[in-house]
Amino acid sequence: MKLGMVGLGKMGYNLVLNLMENGHEVVANDINEEAMQKIKAEGAEIAADYKAMVDMLPKPRVVWLMIPAGDLIDQVIEKFTPFLEEGDILIDGGNSNYKDTLRRAEKLSAAGIQFMDVGTSGGMEGARNGACTMIGGDAEVFAHVEQIFKDISIEKGYLYTGKVGSGHFLKMVHNGIEYGMMQAIAEGFEILEKSPFDYDYKEVSRVWNHGSVIRSWLMELMENAFSKEPKLESIKGVMHSSGEGKWTVETALDLQTAAPVIALSLMMRYRSLEDDTFTGKVVAALRNEFGGHAVERKED
């Protein structure tokens, strides 16, 4: 199949290579001219702008957006729409909030354009050699493009998840689970670190990956990490987050669902961003007020 790819960042670039290796033809576009020339050298066609891309693609056009989630998606869709025709297919492969996806799908639907949402897990390595993809959208449209997903995904690693929005929703929940699993693993190692025993964490990760109930890819990554630094000495425990954990908790609230583990995993990340907290000041002040407990003072 011949399709367009907008966005040649780490994920998009690797996806193009993956697609071409599987016999697909790709017309690529990126605001970065260097990335364009590089992918051209790999065998892709390049399009200077969206109109050019559309002209180079057979009907119905299939265009894959692999750009950062957020307003940029809206801007690109806005610019793209005038060149598309009824029946053309737009795929958002990024980590978009499913609510945005629903909104975009409705708008594009009015113009007769098919919108598909693809949640992708597995990182750059997956994008290049076989990702895990969760695909929402119209069932007939999916049938038309299924071969793409079959080819770029690891074996058994793609799933048509139902109507539009369901792919991004599923990827969001996947990440929420990921937050919880990571925090659980991390708490376990913190307990080990404070224990009266002296464990070799690389060895612990290794043994837990062989026959135990908690064997997992994350635990394999722990072994990698500890093999680089036995106690992660140089790393600061600052836990950033990129949105999907927050969306998962917000969605849980919208659905009146108790998801304490995912919520706390997120909140402990927020807590890690701070050296000191106002919460702590208030509690310390209260203890001082009612019990005369000494407060620690900041040094001048």
State which residue, 41 or 211, has the beta carbon closest to its own copies: 211
Neighbouring residues of 61: CB distance < 8 A, sequence distance ≥ 6: 3, 4, 54, 84, 85, 88, 89
State which residue, 28 or 102, has the beta carbon closest to its own copies: 102
State which residue, 49 or 193, has the beta carbon closest to its own copies: 193
Cis status, amide bond into 60, omega within 30 of 0: yes
Least Å distance between CB 198 and its own copies? 6
Neighbouring residues of 180: CB distance < 8 A, sequence distance ≥ 6: 261, 262, 265
State which residue, 59 or 287, has the beta carbon closest to its own copies: 287
Residue type, 105: A
Least Å distance between CB 35 and its own copies? 17
Q: Give the pairing type, strands 114-121 and 131-136.
A: antiparallel
Rounded CA gap, 206 and 219, in Å?
Answer: 8
Neighbouring residues of 212: CB distance < 8 A, sequence distance ≥ 6: none
Question: Are residues 6 and 26 in contact, defined by beta-carbon separation less than 8 angstroms?
Answer: no
Residue type, 268: M
> Which residue in the block uniquely carries the two structure tokens 């958002």?
92
State which residue, 59 or 163, has the beta carbon closest to its own copies: 163
Least Å distance between CB 60 and its own copies? 25
Overall size of the chain counted in residues:
300
Rounded CA gap, 49 and 212, in Å?
Answer: 53
Catalytic residues: 171, 178
